[in-house]
Structure 1
Amino acid sequence: MHETLIDGIPAFLVEGPVPTTVGLVFGVGRADETFVRGGLTHLVEHLVMSAVGRTAYDSNASVDLNRTEFTASGTPEQVRDFLTRVCRALGDLPVDRLRVEADVLRTEGAAAAPPAVGILLAERYGTEGPGLAGVREPAIRSLTAEDVQGWVRTWFTRQNAALWLSGPVPERLVLPLTEGAPPARRPLRRAEVPTPGWLETPMEGAVALGGELPPGVAGPMTLELLRRRLEDELRHRRGVAYAVGADRFALDAETRFGVVVTDVRPGQEDLVVRVLWREVQRLADEGPTAEELEVERRTILADLDDGRGDAGEAASLAEARVTGVPAYDRVELRRQLSGVTTAEIRQTAARLRNGALLAVPGPLDPDPAGVPRIPGWSRDAVQGRTFRRRRRRTGVPKGATLVVGDDGVSAVLEEGAITVRWADAVGLVRQGPGEYQLLGRDGFALPLSAADWRDGEEAVALVRAAVPDELQVDDDDVEETAGLLLIRSPEHRVREAIAMSDHGATVIANAEWTAVVADDAPDFLVRQAELTAAPGRSPVSLVLRQTHADLEYVLYRGYKEIARHRWGIAPADPRLLAEAVQRAEESVSRLHRAGGTPRDIAEEAVAALGLPPQVPALLAGEPAVGGQRVEGAGAFGGFKASLRGDFVPEQGKRTRLERYQRLAHRRPPWFRALNAAGVLVYGLLVWGLVSWREHLDGWQFWLLLALCGASLLNAVWDARPLRRPAGTDPAGTGPAPSEPGRTPTG
C-alpha cells in the first residue's frame, strides 16, 4: 500500500487485480450536526445517491458518527464513472427531491450507531457531538435546500476528502470537488454524569456496558478479553445468553468509547448485570492471565498477516486523514502488540470500570456491587414565576409546579426537578398544538404542555421567548394530521364561529365555500369541530391534505366523517361527495379519476366542486393571498359581537334576527329614538310590576320582572349613540363587512 495524491486529494492505494474497489471519504458525520439540524449529513448522502442513480456495479454510501463514505466496486472505468457522478452531484444537489428523501430517511430510521451504543453515548455526552447518535432526528422535513447546500459547502469539499482504492487505478481519474477551508470541529464535551453508574433503558433483552478507553491496541485487546470471559460465563457455563459482542468507536484523537453488549434470557437480567460487573472488576484488579494475553496477541497478529486486510487498512488511513483521529499501519500495530503487558491491560480495564455506564432493561434492587443508579433529576431548580398544575385533565402529578425564570425552566415534582437552562438549550420541539419538548445539552428533556398548567399558554410563551428562534422546530409528525379546512357555509357564519373560539384564523371565501387557514394553537380536529358547530346545522366540510406525492380529502357532516378519498391510492364512493356538495355524480366521478400532480388534481377539484381558486396555492403552503384575518375573542367576546350584528352580511338574504342585528350594529337616529321610547315603556312596566307585586304569584312576578328588565337593558343599550369609528369591526376582526377593505366573496 502507498499514499499519493489524485487530483489533489490524498489517496491510499493497494495494488491488486480487478475488481477495483474504491471509497471516497469525507470527514463529517452525525457528531458534527446539531440537535435541531439532525439528519443533514444523511440527507446529503441520499440526495447524492439519488443523482448517481442505479448502477450495473456494486455501489453504496454510509454515514456514521464522524465520516461519510461513498463506495463502489467494478471495472476501473465503472469506478471512475461512479466517482465523477458523486462529485458532480455534490456540486449540484437534486434539491427538488428534498421532501421525498426526507421522508425516506424518516421511514429508514437509521442511526449512526447501534441502539445500545447510542443510548450509552447520549448518556455520557448529552445531546451534542457523539451523544447525538442516541437522539432522534426531530425535524428532517424542515431542512431546506439552503441547509443542505450550505452543509455541502462546509463539509463536502476537497479539503475534507480522502480516497482509498484497491485494485487497478482508473486512468484519467478526476475528482471535481469544490474548494473549501478545513472545517472546524467542536471539542468533545462530557455530560455531568457520575460514573460508574447504571441506568434503566428501553432495550429489552439486552445489557450493555460502555466507557472511555485510550487510543492504541490495549483498548481493543481489553474489550476482547472481557468479551471472551463473558461469553464463557454467560453462554457456555450458565446458558443465560447467546451472543456477546464488543466494539470500539473513535471520538477524537485521544478518546475511544468501548462497548460490550450481551443478550439475556428473560428473567436473568439481574444475574447478567452482576456477572458483567464482576468480570470488569476482576480484569481491572488482576489483569489477564499470561495465557489469555498471549492468545489475544496471536489472534491480532494473524489478522495483520492476512493480506485480505490491506483494503481495510487503506480505508482506515483515509478515514484518519479526514477525521483527525489517528490510525495505525501494520508496522505500528505490531510494535504496540509486542509491548503490551498485563499491567497495561489492567490499567485500561480500570479506566473502563471507573468511567463505566451500565444500561439495563429494568430496575435493579439492590444496586450491583455498589454501582449507584444514575440520577434521573437535575441537581437544582431555577427561581422564577411559578405555574400551578391544573386540577383536571392533566397528566402532571399532584403537587407539581412549573418554574420559568431568567436562567431557565424547571418542572418540580416530589421526587426532584428537571431543569433546562437557557444557555444549555439545544432545541425546543413543537410536538402538537400547545405541546412542546425542551431539550438541554446534558440530555434532560422537559415536556411542556399549555393544558397542564394554570395560565399554561403564558408559560409556553415565556419559554418560546427565551429560546432562540433557530433552536425552535416542528416535529416531523406534527404535519401528519394537518390540512386545509373548507366549510360549505357562508363566510359570515364561519367568521362568527372563529370569533367565538380562542384562536384566530384567516378566511378566504367565495359564494359557496369558506377556506380556513387556522392558527396552529388548537388541535386540528378540535378546530374542525368547533368551526363547523356554529355555521349551521351539520354543515358539510372538506379537509384537504397534500404531500409531495398524493392528495387526499376527508368529507365531514358536522364533525362526523362520512367519506375519505386519496387519489390513485384509496378511492371513495363519489356518490357521497356528490350528494353532500350537490354536484352531479358523473362530475365527481371524473374528479376521482383525475391524475397528475397534487396541484393538478387540486385545480380540477376547484373547478368540479366550486372551491375558492386559492386552494391549490394554500395546499402547497403558499401565503393566503386575498384572505381576511379573524381574531378569536372567546365565547363571551364572540357572543357580544354576534349580538351587535358584526357578522351579518351587508348584502344578500337575511333573517329577521340578522336584520335586527344589522340595525343594532349601525344604530341610525330613528332606531335609537324608537329604543328610547322603549326605555320609557319598559321602565313603566317594571315600576308597575313592583307596585302590584302582592297581586302576583311569586314565580309569575319574577318571570315578568326578568323579561321586562332584560328588555329595558336591551333598549338602553340600543338607544346609546354610536361611539366607535365608522367601519371598525368591534370584535377586532378587521374592517366591517360594509367597508371597501373587505375581501370580496365572489
Structure 2
Amino acid sequence: MTTGTRPEPEPATATAAKASATDTDTDTDTDGILTTTVDGIRTVVLAAPRPGPLSAGLLFRVGSADETLATSGITHLVEHLALHRHGLSDLHYNGATAAAHTHFHVTGTPADVVAYLNGVCAALRDLPMDRLDTEKEILRTEAAGTSAGPAHAAAVWRYGPRSYGLAAYPEFGLRKITEHEVRDWARTRFTRENAVLWIAGDTVPEGLDLDLPAGEWRPAPEATSALPRTPAWFRGGDGGVCLTAVVPRTTAATLFAGVLGKELFRELRQKGGYSYTAAADYSVRDAGHATVVAYADALPEKQDALVGAFVDVFAKLRAGRIEQGDLDAVRASALSRFDVPDLAAAWLPGQAADLLLGHPRLTTARARAEIEAVTVEDLRDVARAVWADALMQVPDRAVDWAGLTAAPCESADVVTGRRHPATGDEAVALIVGDEGISLVAPHGRATVRYAECVLMRSFPDGARHLIGPDGISLTVEPTLYRIHPSDLAVIDGSVPASAVVAMEPRDPALIPRPVKPDLATAWRDPRAWPVTAAIWTLGVLTAALAVLTCVLAFQATDRSIPAGDQDWRPVKAAALVTAGAAALCVTQVRRRERGRA
C-alpha cells in the first residue's frame, strides 16, 4: 500500500464499543491499531474492517530460554498438549515455541477463531495428561527430524546450557518432567497477565472466552555468558564459517545485515568463487537486543582462502568502506515492506510481540523515518559493534591473526580426589572428588562441580554424563575408567536432584569398550619413531643373543671336549640376557599399544 491511499480508521470509540465487556482503557495509534484488553489480556486489534478471513493469535511470554537444561522441553510440551484436542481439521492453525515466547495462531471464520482460541485456553486450564507420554515421544521424534542452523553451535559457546543457549541443546528434560511440573508450568507461565492477544479485524468475535489463570508479566530472561571475552573464535566441524554477534535492536543494525549479506555474496561467491552460500541475517532476541549472523560455506580445499576473505569483508566494513549503492538498495527493499495491501494487519503480530516483550512499538511513519535516516557512518558503527562482540566458528584452523581470541574449550582447574586412570592409558584419568569431577588428558582438562551441575544424565549401566554451566561436559564410563560403585555413590549423592535425568538402558553395543589399537596406524605415527627405534634395536639384540646361545650350547656339548671341562656359565648368561631383552621388547610394544588405545 502506498502512502496516502490507506483508508481512514474508524473512530476508536466505535471499535471499542465492539470489544468485550471486560475491556477497560483503549488507545489507537496513527496506523489504526487499537490497544485494549479482552478478558484481562492485553489485546491489539485493527480500528478498521478488512476483507477476507479473520486471523488472530495468542502470545505468551514464555519460551525455551526460561527453562533449565533438566526441564528443557516443558514449554514445547505444554504447547503440544494444548493443541491436542483440536485434532485433524481443515482449519489453518498452529502453535510454535521460540526462545522467548510461545505463539498460538489461527486463520478462518470468526466462529473458527473463537473455537480455536477458546479451546486453547480451556486446554491450558486442564491439560490432557493422559497424552503426556505420547506427546513426549512425538517431541523426541520431531527433534530427530529437525536440522540445526549454522548458528546452532555458536549459541552453546556464547550462552552455555542456560537462557538463550538452551535452544541449541536437545530437550533433555522430557524424560524427567512430571505431570505436576507440567501443570504448574502452565498455571504460572500461561497466564492472562503474561499474554498478548492480536486480532486482524476491527472487532472481537462474539463468544470469545479466554479464561486464563491470574499471574504476572515476566520479562525476557537475562542472557547468560560462557565467553570471558570477545571477539572470539572456536573450531566447528561443518566446513563453513559462521559469525554471530549480539547488538542493540536498531534500524541501522537491520540494514547493516542486508549490506553485509550483499558484500559477502559479492566477495566470496561472485569474485572469489570460494562459497556457494554467503549470507547474513538479523533476528530479534529480546526487548533490547538482536543477533546478527553471517555465514559462508566452502569446499575443504578453499577453506583457508574463505576464512581470509571473510575476515577481510568485516575489516572493509569496519573501516567504513561501504558502498552507498548497497545501502540504497537495502533501504529500498526495507521501504518496500510498507507498500503492501493491508499493512496494519501484516504488522499486527510483530506489534503484539513487541508489546509482549516490552519493546517500544514503532508506527509505520516512525519506522519509515528511521530507515531513511540511516547513513553509511551508522553502518560503520554497527560493523564495529558486531566485530567487538563477534563469535566466529571456523574449520580446523586458528584465526588469532585476525585479532580474535580462542574461546575456552577446557576448564581452568581440576578437583582434588581419587584418580582413576583410563584402561590402557595412564595419561588419561578421571578424578572423583568431594566437590566435583574432572577429566585430565594430555590435550586438555574438563571439570564439572556438583553444586553447579546443570544436568546429569544417569544410565542404568553406571554411566553418568555431567554438564556444567559453562558448557563443559564429561562422561563417566565405568567400562573405561573402572569406577568403583562407591565413587558413583559420591557423584549421585552430590549432584542436585533437580539436575538429574534418569535415562533408559542403553543398547549394549553403544556402551564404549577399550579400543584395540590399530597397529598399522601406530607404526606410522612419526612421534613414535624414538620408541620404534629402541624396540627394533632390542629385537636385533635379542636375535643375536639367541644365535650366540645356540653356538655356545653346541660347543658345550661337543664330544671332543671332556665332560669335566665343559663350562655352562656362558650359556646360562646368554640365555638370561636373551630372556631379559625379549621381555623388555615385549613390554615396550605393549606400552605403545596401550598408549595408542
Residues 1:335 and 2:363 aligned together? no
* Residue 122 to residue 9, structure 1, CA distance change in 2 (3 Å): same
The answer as to whether partners of 1:38 and 1:137 remain within 8 angstroms in 2 is: yes
**SS in structure 1 opposite 2:408?**
coil
The answer as to whether partners of 1:122 and 1:443 remain within 8 angstroms in 2 is: yes
> Counterpart of 1:379?
412
The answer as to whether partners of 1:249 and 1:257 remain within 8 angstroms in 2 is: yes
1:358 & 1:218 partners in 2: Cα distance? Answer: 22
1:246 & 1:145 partners in 2: Cα distance? Answer: 42
> Counterpart of 2:95?
61
Choose the corresponding residue for 2:433, options 399, 405, 408: 405
**SS in structure 1 opposite 2:427?**
coil
> Counterpart of 2:52?
18
**Alpha-carbon displacement from aligned partner over 1:66-97 (angstroms, at most 9, x marks no partner):** 11111111111111111111111111111101
Which amino acid is the alignment partner of residue 200 of structure 1? R
Choose the corresponding residue for 1:194, options 226, 229, 234: 229
1:102 & 1:405 partners in 2: Cα distance? Answer: 35
1:380 & 1:188 partners in 2: Cα distance? Answer: 25
Which amino acid is the alignment partner of residue 34 of structure 2? H
Residues 1:443 and 2:477 aligned together? no
Which amino acid is the alignment partner of residue 272 of structure 2? R
Which amino acid is the alignment partner of residue 379 of structure 1? A
> Counterpart of 2:449?
421
CA RMSD for the aligned pairs?
A: 2.5
Choose the corresponding residue for 2:164, options 121, 130, 141: 130
* Residue 160 to residue 366, structure 1, CA distance change in 2 (3 Å): closer
The answer as to whether partners of 1:273 and 1:368 remain within 8 angstroms in 2 is: no
1:381 & 1:525 partners in 2: Cα distance? Answer: 28
Give how far 1:168 is off: 5.5
* Residue 371 to residue 236, structure 1, CA distance change in 2 (3 Å): same
> Counterpart of 2:397?
364
Unaligned runs of 5+ in 2: 1-32, 512-597
Choose the corresponding residue for 1:181, options 216, 220, 224: 216
Choose the corresponding residue for 1:33, options 67, 78, 91: 67
Give how far 1:220 is off: 1.3
Give how far 1:324 is off: 3.0
Aligned residues: 476
Q: After the TM superposition, which residues 268-667 of structure 1 pair with which residues of structure 2 at under 5 Å, given as runs?
A: 268-360=302-394, 362-364=395-397, 369-382=402-415, 384-392=416-424, 397-475=425-503, 478-479=504-505
**Alpha-carbon displacement from aligned partner over 1:198-257 (angstroms, at most 9, x marks no partner):** 22224x354311011111111111111111101112222233333333333333333222
> Counterpart of 2:77?
43
Which amino acid is the alignment partner of residue 438 of structure 2? S
Residues 1:84 and 2:112 aligned together? no
**Alpha-carbon displacement from aligned partner over 1:551-608 (angstroms, at most 9, x marks no partner):** xxxxxxxxxxxxxxxxxxxxxxxxxxxxxxxxxxxxxxxxxxxxxxxxxxxxxxxxxx
Which amino acid is the alignment partner of residue 459 of structure 1? D
1:83 & 1:301 partners in 2: Cα distance? Answer: 34
**Alpha-carbon displacement from aligned partner over 1:401-429 (angstroms, at most 9, x marks no partner):** 32333443221212221112234310111
* Residue 443 to residue 366, structure 1, CA distance change in 2 (3 Å): closer
Give how far 1:355 is off: 1.6
1:443 & 1:3 partners in 2: Cα distance? Answer: 42
1:168 & 1:58 partners in 2: Cα distance? Answer: 20
Choose the corresponding residue for 2:150, options 116, 134, 137: 116
1:173 & 1:45 partners in 2: Cα distance? Answer: 20
> Counterpart of 2:194?
160
1:81 & 1:51 partners in 2: Cα distance? Answer: 11
The answer as to whether partners of 1:124 and 1:193 remain within 8 angstroms in 2 is: no
The answer as to whether partners of 2:451 and 2:494 remain within 8 angstroms in 1 is: no
The answer as to whether partners of 1:277 and 1:368 remain within 8 angstroms in 2 is: no
Residues 1:223 and 2:251 aligned together? no
**SS in structure 2 opposite 1:410?**
strand
> Counterpart of 1:597?
none
> Counterpart of 1:728?
none
* Residue 336 to residue 91, structure 1, CA distance change in 2 (3 Å): same
The answer as to whether partners of 2:158 and 2:165 remain within 8 angstroms in 1 is: yes
* Residue 209 to residue 366, structure 1, CA distance change in 2 (3 Å): closer
* Residue 324 to residue 405, structure 1, CA distance change in 2 (3 Å): farther
**SS in structure 2 opposite 1:157?**
coil
* Residue 465 to residue 326, structure 1, CA distance change in 2 (3 Å): farther
Moved more, 424-433 or 20-29: 424-433
**SS in structure 2 opposite 1:253?**
coil
**SS in structure 1 opposite 2:454?**
strand
The answer as to whether partners of 1:25 and 1:70 remain within 8 angstroms in 2 is: yes
2:407 & 2:141 partners in 1: Cα distance? Answer: 33
1:461 & 1:73 partners in 2: Cα distance? Answer: 55
Which amino acid is the alignment partner of residue 230 of structure 1? L
Give how far 1:104 is off: 0.5
The answer as to whether partners of 1:24 and 1:69 remain within 8 angstroms in 2 is: yes
Unaligned runs of 5+ in 1: 482-522, 527-746
Give how far 1:326 is off: 4.3
* Residue 525 to residue 308, structure 1, CA distance change in 2 (3 Å): closer
**Structure 1 moving runs of 4+ over 6 Å:** 110-113, 523-526
2:368 & 2:172 partners in 1: Cα distance? Answer: 45
The answer as to whether partners of 2:220 and 2:357 remain within 8 angstroms in 1 is: no
**Alpha-carbon displacement from aligned partner over 1:624-650 (angstroms, at most 9, x marks no partner):** xxxxxxxxxxxxxxxxxxxxxxxxxxx
* Residue 193 to residue 432, structure 1, CA distance change in 2 (3 Å): farther
